[in-house]
Structure 1
């Protein structure tokens, strides 16, 4: 195992995502006068929603987050919300970056953005980075810390953290099924399944809320900063764009849509974006069982949460595919998202027992 952090690689800023660096530095240095700039700016390429930049001020690294240009969902890309959630949560859940400054003046960069401290550690994506190895025991321990940290987050009382107003009260499961169905229909293109059978199944089989907890809503390895020196630990959780207060089992189902293991079918395996295929990694069944054991939450039919997670991921991919097809983004990482939508809808259809296309 790696004994030192493997820093996330940041590349050149894409032309479509460039901004006025001098304006940013002038605004930021007025609030942090010890900065010696302007900074060297690089862009992280892993995200598919809000844009993330490295601001290098000599030996000090800061991170900036801002929305993309072009079409965006009405509730997405809320920088104030993302900033506030992390600032309020920090005293209650240590694996959150330190928030530094928030800007809502469009005269600076054309929209909202915020700046935070960089969390040092390793972020894992589809394949392990150079210099990192995980044997079966270490992969198992990594899977366990991912489960346990999620359970720890769900143990935070939203009211105590000052985040109770993020929720809309009872009916979270219903709102999620209705909301993601509406988003899919709103972003539909002529080259993907209409998804109507899956949406009808989710509506018919949706359970009542089992609990109301603070949830991250995008729980996956590339949003976790890890300390891999010894037993793996989660030292930072990133990308709080969709955080809210709601049913934690819905988050569990969403997280499991990303948890693709070595024994999954070939088409689903094409969508793997994290090294959950490694020997020793917990299966989805063991992940869920450990989570339920730690939280004490009841579980009805797991099939509902699993199908929901797959469909929700299909909607996220379809919203991005809609933007890519419309030419609102030219990021080549999105070129295969139409195929991803077809695979996810097909898998959700199969698990729900409502048939569906076989994928690309």
Structure 2
């Protein structure tokens, strides 16, 4: 399992920072740090940047925003740290927050540092060394969904979480907000998608299903599996978009990434997690299982699935806009404009299927 742990690499030149300043700050705020750290960067993720600080006897993880223009409410590192800290007592799968920094003289941006959770993080394909047969893959999938159900059962009235609750109208705010983000992220040649946004506005439910803590980016590559048991999840990462909102919107967001074995070749090329493996639930089975576990009505889930894809399309386009403007040179973003156009077409297919 050690070989399957995320391996940090050399820091990309555009993402480098003055390690000595960060080291000095951390030694003032994290008890017991000693020695000189080395710095490396985790390759995963297309939004915020994640680094490994390796001290002689301890490993820490630093999270910071990307450089360049960004959406008004995105990449708020201190908010993410507050949410994780507030969840720790009732949701044991979050890492411990060790330090937060809003002093621009240290790194030039807000950042936070947390403990490193060692274990396997699943990417595009299921590593054969896990030794999971079809039944094992199914149990892995069900455990993954159970952790989401457990998150949605967390008491939102506790300090640090209740402040996130803006009350009724979450779905309406999301439809309006992400539609505006799409318009702001437009680049030359991008699809206007006014028809998709009009359908979402007209088809949205009149009321929220519930108000609970939602992750808003719940995927296999954001969970950590125990080193000694691949069926046990020990960590859930990347809480940037977490809030209090509608649970079916959270599930719809997760399914936007859920590429199954019978999807078309283009969508297969998007796959970032092993949801195509024999034993994995299909999207329809995921929705049915979630409905059984929670008692929520999932009979009209089409809206949530379309919205999840639309939101992913916006995120992809926002990243592509940064690339198109030269604010990042990461070559993996060069095809994101085409990816956004494909997601728009996929939204239209689902809308047509809804009748």
TM superposition score category, shorter chain reference: over 0.9
What is the DSSP-based 3-state SS (H/G/I as helix, E as strand, rest coil) of the residue aligned with 2:59? strand
Partners in 2 of 1:280 and 1:245 — Cα distance? 32
Q: Distance in 2 between matches of 1:267 and 1:338?
A: 14
CA contact (8 A) 2:253 2:305 kept: yes
Q: Does the residue aligned with 2:225 lie in a helix, a strand or coil? A: strand
Contact 1:92 1:161 in 2 (8 A): no
Question: 2:189, 2:245 → 1: CA distance?
Answer: 33
Work out whether residues 198 and 354 of structure 1, in 8 Å CA contact, stay in contact via their aligned partners in 2: no
Residues 197 and 354 in structure 1, CA contact (< 8 A), matched pair in contact too: no
- Counterpart CA distance in 2 for 1:193 and 1:135 is 42
What's the RMSD between the two structures over aligned residues?
Answer: 1.6
Q: 1:270-312 deviations in whole A, cap 9, x for unaligned?
A: 1111111111111111111111111111224111011001111
1:351 matched to 2:347? The reply is no
Is 1:184 the counterpart of 2:194? The answer is no
What is the match of residue 358 of structure 1? none
Asked whether the 8 Å contact 1:21–1:38 carries over to 2, the reply is: no
Between 1:91-100 and 1:158-167, the stretch displaced more is 158-167
Query: Cα 1:231–1:241, aligned 2, differ >3 Å: closer, same or farther?
Result: closer
TM-score normalised by L of structure 1: 0.94
Q: How does 1:70-89 map to 2 (within 5 A)?
A: 70-89=68-87
> Measured at CA, do residues 29 and 252 of structure 1 come closer, stay the same or move farther in structure 2, by a change above 3 Å?
same
Partner of 2:235: 236
Task: Tell me if the contact between 1:213 and 1:248 (Cα under 8 Å) persists in the aligned partners.
Answer: yes
Alpha-carbon shift at residue 33 of structure 1 (Å): 4.5
Residues 1:272 and 2:267 are matched in the alignment? no
Tell me the distance in 1 between the aligned counterparts of 2:126 and 2:135. 16
Q: Which residue in the other structure is 2:99 paired with?
A: 101
What is the distance in 2 between the residues matched to 1:120 and 1:138? 22
Q: CA deviation at 1:136?
A: 1.1
Task: Return the alpha-carbon distance in structure 1 between the equivalents of residues 217 and 317 of structure 2.
Answer: 16
Q: 2:36–2:56: 8 Å Cα contact kept in structure 1?
A: no
User: Which residue pairs with 1:220 in the alignment?
Assistant: 219
- Is 1:23 aligned to 2:35, yes or no? no
Greater shift, 196-205 or 231-240, is seen at 231-240
Give the one of 53, 62, 65 matched to 1:64: 62
Specify the alignment match of 2:256 in structure 1. 257
Q: Which residue pairs with 1:123 in the alignment? A: 121
* Cα deviation 1:123-168 (Å, max 9, x = unaligned): 0111234744432112111110111000000000111353111121
Q: TM-score, normalised by structure 2?
A: 0.96
- What are the ranges of 5 or more consecutive residues in structure 2 without an aligned counterpart? none
* Whole-angstrom distance in 1 between the partners of 2:80 and 2:236: 12
Q: Is the 8 A contact 2:306 2:351 kept in 1?
A: yes
The separation in 1 between residues aligned to 2:139 and 2:313, in whole angstroms, is 29
Q: Which residue of 2 aligns with 1:247?
A: 246
Structure 1 residue runs of 5 or longer lacking an equivalent are 356-360
Q: 1:172 and 1:300, CA in 2 relative to 1: closer, same or farther beyond 3 A?
A: farther
Q: Is the 8 A contact 1:221 1:274 kept in 2?
A: yes
Cα gap change, 1:130 to 1:24, in 2 (>3 Å): farther
Q: 1:345 to 1:155 in 2, by over 3 A?
A: same
Distance 2:243 2:333 in 1: 26
Conserved 8 A contact 1:25-1:37: no
**Deviates most, 31-40 or 127-136:** 127-136
Quote the residue 2:281 is aligned against: 282
SS at match of 2:256: helix
